[in-house]
Amino acid sequence: MARRKSRLVLVDLATPMKAKRQNRVNLFELAYQRIEELLINCTLRPGQSLTMQDLQDMTGFGRTPIHHAVNRLAADTLVLIRPRHGLKIAPIDLARERLLLKLRRDIERFVIRLATERAGPTERHQLLHMERMLRDRRENLTLNEFNVLDRAIDRLILSTANEPFLIHTLQPLHTLFRRIGFIFHSQVPGRNTLTRTVDCHMAIVNAVANRHVERAVEASDALMVHVDAMFDDMESVIDPTLLDTSIEPMMGI
């Protein structure tokens, strides 16, 4: 009896390769986000020296995702790569970061204006939902919870603005100032309340969601004024070793 010929089946070889690349990109992004979180809450202390292996152990990610994340963080000036001497978390230079706040203010104005003009029904609904979350938790929001929500708001506004160049420019600035805010609220005596910060963010989100361009820009400027005022307290009362752990030996007098 003649054997039946097997039916030929076309296999899309590109599909598994595409999925594999997508998974790899997601892994890189997750590694970056995890290290970014450790930078913001100062688990990775400004001025701290460490190795790639240290980051692998702290995050649970493998060598390749950590390598990509570190290269990106180095481009963001958040991590210093020292050939043959490992890595160093960039110290906080208050004078430099206060100067960069002026740059952030101008870019934020442009982004906020674009987002307000381009916000569609879906984005507006999401923004109003975030505003309700901020209002409901205004009195008891923890610093870590706020930072998670703040990151989500920033990303939604950047996505709504829909200009990829701005994402790469503004995200590192957001990380820098989220770390400043963490130190301010956790280390400056009497400044642990988040109500003023939450109010500033609610004003921005509400104005963008309701497509009030000028009010949104004014709310963004008000947030920058609030952040700028943080530097006065930090310059006068913050222990310098919180901004650069590498100077600890000199301070042990």
Which residue is associated with the tokens 């000036």? 77
Would you state the torsion angle of the CA atoms of residues 201, 187, 97, 195, taken in this order, to the nearest 10 degrees? 10
Q: Tell me, what's the pLDDT at 17?
A: 46
Which residues lie closer than 8 Å to 95 by C-beta, 6 or more apart? none
Which residue is associated with the tokens 């309700």? 132
Which residue is associated with the tokens 């987002």? 115
Q: Tell me, what's the pLDDT at 4?
A: 52
Which residues lie closer than 8 Å to 152 by C-beta, 6 or more apart? 130
**pTM of the predicted protein model:** 0.84
What residues are paired with 214 via a beta bridge? none
Q: What b/e readout covers 174-206, taking b as 16+ CB neighbours within 10 angstroms?
A: bbbbbbbbbbbbebeeeeeebeebbbbbbbbbb
The two three-digit tokens of residue 203, written as one number: 């004003």
The two three-digit tokens of residue 153, written as one number: 């708001």
Which residues lie closer than 8 Å to 49 by C-beta, 6 or more apart? 85, 86, 87, 88, 246
Is 112:216 a contact under the CB 8 Å cutoff? Answer: yes
d(CA 132, CA 207): 13
Q: Tell me, what's the pLDDT at 25?
A: 59
d(CA 55, CA 139): 35
Q: Tell me, what's the pLDDT at 191?
A: 87
Can you list the alpha helix ranges (DSSP code H) found in 46-142?
Answer: 52-59, 63-75, 94-118, 121-136
Domains within the chain, CATH numbers bracketed? 14-89 (1.10.10.10), 94-240 (1.20.120.530)
**What secondary structure letter does DSSP report for 192?**
-
Counting every residue, how long is the chain?
253
The two three-digit tokens of residue 142, written as one number: 């923890």
Split the chain (253 residues) into runs of 10 and give each run's mean pLDDT. Answer: 50 49 73 95 95 95 95 95 92 96 96 97 96 94 93 96 90 95 93 93 97 97 97 92 80 49
Closest CA to 182 of 143, 145, 141: 143
Q: Tell me, what's the pLDDT at 33?
A: 93
Helix (H) or strand (E) run with residue 4 in it: none
Q: Tell me, what's the pLDDT at 16?
A: 54
Kindly tell me the burial class for residue 209, based on how many C-beta atoms sit within 10 Å of its own C-beta (0-12, 13-18, 19 or more). Answer: buried
